[in-house]
């Protein structure tokens, strides 16, 4: 974190990254003095509403974060930035995105949690766009030009007001991760509940085990275990607001609809209290760990792994076999996970896996059959990328094996489907 005082003193001259959160109400013009070096600018958590007219002087700038500010429109000047690849304006009050505000080199656009009702046709004319986060807006339709986004891998559309399913996306050659729950065309889905219902007073929340966009997971114990469930449990208490993936209620619904599978994190019960919406889960054994790490700015939509981490072809084959069963199970339930990634998978030393994180999941079995089939194709493509990512960390001595070639061909078939 940097300060205005450091900027004004010249202490930050020639830096490539600038981060400042001091409740700024006006853009610090001193930042423009970093034009020869600045590549990443993060002014999240301020009170900014405008950018200066000469902002495009930051010719080396590739990433800009302005989330949690007071912008009501996406600044037009961004479109004039010659090397800007990533824009993040989450949780502002944006209502307007002008035709000229999107730079041609853009790869990653985050406009989650704003008030956008309409997007410009120019959005579909960005040849490098790979990742698009639009959850939590007021969109009723998408630009028709979006059928030209041939490099788009991931899009989040949940918690909008789309009146019909955006079919212009379904034939995009690289799209694999599509989240669409909580729109007008699928807002009132009825989910059969097969889990017992409990109340917050039935358990005690203890230490926090983890947290994400949609909620906080805590180690818990029963005070009133009337359903005779496991004594020690994990409880995910959902946040009350829209997240980067959509509405918490939709995440809960997809968990309930998916049901049980030996390779899914097991749901045990749920809480419907709107002030304490929660999912009670079986405690994951301590010897399980994350299979991968999330994408980086550079990889954009593809997972990463710790340096030196590798798997044998036998381990990869076993993991792929289990994931095949998980995906088939979910497809039989009419649920798209929409976030099939190694970083959402836990594994142990015997290559047993548990799949979790339903934040982006969507229910699709009430859509027309042709759309259902295309959604399955997208899920299979994500699975193909998943296999490719695992093969990228395969032990070198196994890379010429017949099993490696078989899995490589399987991944290719899914991706090119």
Residue 126 pLDDT grade (very low, low, confident, very high; cuts 50, 70, 90): very high
Looking at residues 174-195, what average pLDDT do you find? Answer: 86
Domain boundaries along the sequence of the chain: 200-282, 289-416
Collapsing DSSP to helix, strand or coil, 402 comes out as helix
Q: Is the pLDDT of residue 372 over 80?
A: yes
CB count within 10 Å of CB 300 equals 17
Quick one: three-class SS letters along 370-391? Answer: HHHHHHHHHHHHHHHHHHHHHH
Instruction: Give the pLDDT confidence score for residue 193 in this predicted structure.
Output: 72
Q: Are strands 289-290 and 267-271 parallel, antiparallel or unpaired?
A: unpaired
Instruction: Give the pLDDT confidence score for residue 277 in this predicted structure.
Output: 87
SS3 content of the chain, % helix, strand, coil (to 5): 25, 20, 55
Residue 19 known to bind ligand: no
pLDDT tens for 2-45 read 766 666 666 667 789 999 998 999 999 999 999 999 999 999 99
Q: What angle do CA 205, 209, 210 make, to 5 degrees?
A: 115
Cα–chain center distance at 391: 23
Burial of residue 288 (number of CB atoms within 10 Å: 0-12, 13-18, 19+):
middle
Question: Which range among 79-93, 178-192, 196-210, 276-290 has the greatest average pLDDT?
Answer: 79-93
Residue 198 pLDDT grade (very low, low, confident, very high; cuts 50, 70, 90): very high
**13-20, Cβ contacts within 8 angstroms, sequence gap of 24 or more:** 13/37, 16/40, 16/60, 17/41, 17/42, 18/42, 19/43, 20/46
% of the chain surpassing 90 pLDDT: 81
289-416 to CATH, choices 1.10.510.10, 3.40.50.700, 3.40.605.10, 1.10.1040.10: 1.10.510.10
Looking at residues 394-409, what average pLDDT do you find? Answer: 96
Classify domain 200-282 at the CATH topology level.
Answer: Phosphorylase Kinase; domain 1 (3.30.200)
pTM higher than 0.85, yes or no?
A: yes
Cα–chain center distance at 242: 13
Question: Count of alpha carbons within 13 Å of 251, Cβ hemisphere only?
Answer: 26
Looking at residues 202-213, what average pLDDT do you find? Answer: 88
pLDDT tens for 231-262 read 889 999 988 777 777 888 888 889 889 989 99
């Amino acid at each position: 974190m940097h300060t205005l005082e450091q900027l004004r003193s010249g202490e930050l001259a020639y830096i490539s990254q600038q981060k400042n959160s001091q409740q700024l109400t006006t853009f610090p013009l001193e930042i423009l003095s970093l034009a020869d070096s600045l590549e990443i600018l993060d002014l999240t958590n301020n009170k900014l509403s405008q950018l200066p007219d000469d902002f495009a002087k930051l010719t080396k700038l590739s990433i800009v974060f302005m989330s949690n500010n007071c912008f009501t429109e996406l600044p037009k000047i961004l479109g004039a930035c010659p090397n800007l690849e990533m824009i993040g304006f989450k949780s502002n009050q944006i209502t307007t995105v002008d035709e000229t505000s999107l730079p041609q080199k853009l790869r990653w656009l985050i406009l989650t949690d704003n008030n956008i009702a309409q997007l410009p046709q120019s959005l579909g004319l960005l040849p490098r766009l790979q990742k698009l986060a639009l959850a939590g807006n007021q969109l009723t339709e998408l630009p028709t030009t979006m059928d030209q986004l041939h490099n788009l891998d991931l899009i989040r559309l949940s918690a909008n007001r789309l009146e019909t399913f955006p079919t212009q996306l379904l034939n995009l050659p690289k799209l694999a991760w599509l989240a669409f729950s909580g729109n007008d065309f699928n807002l009132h889905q009825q989910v059969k509940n097969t889990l017992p219902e409990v109340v917050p007073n039935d358990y005690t929340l203890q230490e926090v085990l983890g947290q994400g966009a949609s909620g906080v997971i805590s180690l818990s114990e029963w005070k009133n275990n009337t359903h005779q469930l496991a004594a020690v449990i994990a409880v995910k208490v959902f946040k009350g607001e829209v997240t980067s993936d959509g509405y918490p209620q939709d995440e809960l619904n997809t968990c309930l609809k998916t049901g049980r599978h030996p390779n899914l994190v097991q749901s045990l019960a749920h809480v419907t209290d709107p002030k304490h919406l929660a999912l009670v889960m079986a405690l994951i054994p301590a010897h399980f760990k994350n299979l991968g790490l999330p994408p980086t700015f550079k990889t954009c939509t593809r997972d990463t792994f710790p340096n030196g981490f590798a798997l044998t072809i036998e381990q990869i084959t076993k993991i792929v076999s289990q994931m095949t069963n998980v995906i088939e199970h979910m497809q039989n339930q009419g649920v798209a996970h929409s976030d099939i990634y190694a970083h959402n998978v836990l594994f142990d030393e015997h290559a047993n896996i548990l799949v979790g994180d339903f934040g982006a999941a969507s229910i699709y079995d009430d859509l027309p059959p042709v759309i259902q089939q295309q959604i399955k194709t997208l899920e299979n493509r994500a699975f193909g990328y998943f296999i490719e990512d695992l093969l990228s960390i395969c032990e070198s001595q196994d890379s010429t094996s017949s099993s490696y070639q078989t899995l490589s061909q399987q991944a290719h078939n899914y991706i090119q489907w």
